[in-house]
Structure 1
Amino acid sequence: MKLWLQKWRLLSVLAILALVLSGCGEPFLSGLVPAGEVGKQQYDLILLSLGIMTLVIIVVVIIFTFAIIKFRRKDDRIPKQVEGSHTLEIVWTVIPIILLLILAVPTVAVTFSQGDVSAIDKKDADGNRDALVVNVNAHLYWWEFEYPDLGIVTSQDLVIPTDEKVYFQVTSKDVKHSFWIPPLGGKLDTNPENVNKFWLIADSDKAEEAGNLFYGKCAELCGPSHALMDFKVKALPQKDFENWVADMQNAKEPVKPTSDLAKQGEEIFNQSCITCHAVTPEAKPSGELAPNLAGFADRERVAGVLDHNEEELKKWIKDPEKIKPGNKMTGTYPEMSDQELDALAAYLMELKVQQ
């Protein structure tokens, strides 16, 4: 008996702990704080389904409690056995059907609405698209964002305008990943064999409240550094987005270093890194092996997870395997001295497109 009580207490503690931990997390990674049309629709469907389930639970508990109290056995006599009530059978068959329809109709409507990506294929007489399209390429363990109609390629930081539908074509260059920006909506798998499509909208008011910055993640277990496969989303007002596009399109040539240390770092980069990385936004890295570093100095994180400063950058270059196990950068370049790391970090921190 004592052993059973000990197990029951342990089970109760674990259940309470699981309940508490299920509420833990960062607010900027929560789908319960929608910041766009898609996220809001999905959030409303969650509330609708929870409301229906809660109503069913309450009704069942009330009926169950009533039956226990009213029809509890008071003596040894066996009560009269009767057939089931046809009226009750009709009621408990019809009511679930009605509840399912209440949930199914808006769910199907939202699914078809969010699945409409026909605007991607619509072009004017000159062959130009009105819709903003972003090709998302998932890699181990980083993200590449290509704006095919704007001639821009970048990585790790996705830049989009607010209050405008942005259409995404997502795929993977290696294993299955999943593209997810919790406040805006999603998620959608990125598969090596095909291209999936969907759209999102960032609400300008919500974006302003969030400092025009949202966080995205890979939501499909893809390897040892899956939890570190993050990216940032800069949701800018239309004018600011247009300025960013203009800056990126004008950055045709690599940034010229401004200090002797950065010039030394450029030489190291051209000897060791240029094979895999590009430094201009219109170019794709060779073989798409590594992220495009155009505008690296303006980014929010190093490798998607570290604070954006020279010290963290040098830690990443020195031992990327320690920070992101299983990444493809490990072992692809010779070991560097502290002076070489200082120089390379100084050069990378000058890679700006917005002067």
Structure 2
Amino acid sequence: MKRLAKWRLVSLFAILTLVLSACSGQPYLSTLQPAGEVAKKQYDLMVFSTIMMIAVMAVVAVIFIIVLVKFRRKDDKIPNQVEGNHAMEIIWTVIPILLVLVLAVPTVSAVFNFADVDAMEKKNEDGTSDALVVNVRANLYWWEFEYPNEKIVTGQELIVPTDEKVYFNLIASDVKHSFWIPAAGGKMDNNTENVNKFWLEFDSKKADPDKLFQGRCAELCGPSHALMDFKVKALPRAEFDQWVTNMQNIKEPQDATTDLAQQGQEIFNKSCIGCHAVTPSNGTPADARMAPNLTNFGDRNIIAGYLEHNEENLKNWLSDPETYKPGNKMTGTYGELTPEQLDALTAYLMGLKVQGE
């Protein structure tokens, strides 16, 4: 009886876990609340395949019940033994084939549609394209977003316009990663040896109040894989164009605006500048970009990919990055900072904002 009670308890928790795993009040995070054309088509395919599966299960269950009731044993007489039935064999062979075809046609059509990147391949005379293209480079454990046509590089926070196609080139600099924005569309791998290409669209009505979507790595890549998140800020086209202009206007590192921030800038220039850039130009080769670009760090919504963006978390991250993201490349690259140095560096980094935004 005790074992039976334990199994009942385990079963109850298993069912609750399954149910709660699909619960989310955040449309910008849930795959079940699509926020774009790609996500909507994928969601429709899931619903369609689920309906087909339930229909097949229902038919099989009905046939099973009919056979169970109609042909149940009534006496000890052994019935005639039938070996083979060509008609039935043809039926149960043809029906699964038809079901597979019904599923395959819309699925294959959608796959080819998602892979249609002709717009980003068409180049103008200056080598740019009319489509918005973002080169996504995945690293241990951070994300870089390069806008080749706009000559902008940023990190950890992807800025995109809403209600139009955004094309992506995906690559990794170290190990395999996977680019995934749950509400916008299914994941695709970032490989080291080849570039994957696809497109997404972001519905302006489905972002959270801060115009944010959640992104993350969906390929196990190391001890901090679960912490390799990023934010997607989806802006109306006019606001996106203004952001691009503001970023392009930053030709030189921004000057500190206070005495404390000035001290932090001096600390930054003596150590951090070796890996982190504070200008958005993409003139630096990708292999030389060793850490996230910090040009608009003060405008961002997260620190280290997942921490809330505030001074306390920034100081904690700067003082002990290994505790917050094990295995990251920042650990051990600089000496310990005193409380005064942490205050100064924090003031400088928090002041790195896109002017005019």
- In 1, the alpha carbon distance for the partners of 2:25 and 2:140 equals 24
| Equivalence for 1:287 | 288
C-alpha root-mean-square deviation of aligned residues, in Å?
A: 1.9
- 1:63 corresponds to 2:57: no
Q: Which runs of 5+ in 2 are unaligned?
A: none
Residue number in structure 1 paired with 2:193: 193
Distance 2:270 2:50 in 1: 58
Asked if 1:244 corresponds to 2:243, the answer is yes
In structure 2, give the amino acid aligned to 1:291: P
- The one-letter code sitting in structure 1 at the alignment partner of 2:190 is T
Instruction: Kindly state the Cα deviation for residue 68 of structure 1 after the two structures are TM-superposed.
Output: 1.1
Q: CA deviation at 1:17?
A: 4.4
Q: Cα gap change, 1:47/1:178 in structure 2, threshold over 3 Å: closer, same or farther?
A: same
Distance 2:126 2:275 in 1: 35
Shift of residue 26 of structure 1? 6.5
| Amino acid corresponding to residue 30 of structure 1 in structure 2 | S
User: Taking structure 2 as the reference length, what is the TM-score of the superposition?
Assistant: 0.94
- Counterpart position of 2:230: 231
Alignment match, 1:337: 338
1:101-120 alignment, distance < 5 Å: 101-120=101-120
CA distance in 2, matches of 1:286, 1:54: 50
Give the residue type in structure 2 aligned to 1:225.
Answer: S
Letter in 1 for 2:259: D
Structure 1 unaligned blocks of 5 or more: none
Residues in 1 aligned to 2:56 and 2:319: alpha-carbon distance in whole angstroms: 58
Alignment of 1:24-63 (within 5 A): 24=23, 27=26, 28-63=28-63
Structure 1: how far apart are the matches of 2:327 and 2:111?
Answer: 36
| Structure 1 position 25, deviation (Å) | 5.5
Asked if structure 2 preserves the Cα contact closer than 8 Å seen for 1:277 and 1:286, the reply is: no
Matches within 5 A, 1:1-355: 5=4, 8-9=7-8, 12-13=11-12, 15-24=14-23, 27=26, 28-207=28-207, 211-283=210-282, 284=284, 287-355=288-356
- The CA deviation at 1:104 is 0.7
Deviations 1:155-176 (A, max 9, x none): 0010011122111001001111
Count of aligned residue pairs for this structure pair: 353
> CA separation in 2, counterparts of 1:306 and 1:5?
43
* Superimposed CA distance per residue, residues 207-248 of structure 1 (whole angstroms, 9 cap, x where no aligned partner): 3x6542101000000011100000010111110010000000
Distance 1:299 1:333 in 2: 24
Change (3 A) 1:61 1:4: farther
The alpha-carbon distance between structure 1 residues 335 and 37, as it changes in their structure 2 partners (threshold 3 A), is: same
Residues 77 and 26 of structure 1: CA distance in aligned 2, closer, same or farther (over 3 Å): same
SS of corresponding position for 1:351: coil
Using the alignment, how far apart are the partners of 2:229 and 2:289 within structure 1? 18
Superposition deviation, residue 254 in structure 1: 1.3
Amino acid aligned to 1:289: M
Aligned mates of 1:5, 1:306 — CA distance in 2: 43
The 3-state SS of whatever aligns with 2:274 is coil
CA 1:203 to 1:25, structure 2 compared with 1: closer, same or farther past 3 Å? closer
For residues 241 and 85 of structure 2, the distance between their equivalents in structure 1, rounded to whole angstroms, comes to: 68
Code of the residue aligned with 1:308 in structure 2: it is: H
Q: Which amino acid aligns with 1:248?
A: M
- When residues 226 and 78 of structure 1 are mapped into structure 2, their CA distance, relative to the original with a 3 A threshold, is same
Query: 1:229, 1:273 → 2: CA distance?
Result: 21
Distance 1:126 1:178 in 2: 31
Q: 79-88 vs 240-249, which deviates more?
A: 79-88
Whichever residue aligns with residue 296 of structure 2, its letter is G
| Structure 2 counterpart SS, 1:146 | strand
TM-score, normalization by structure 1 = 0.94
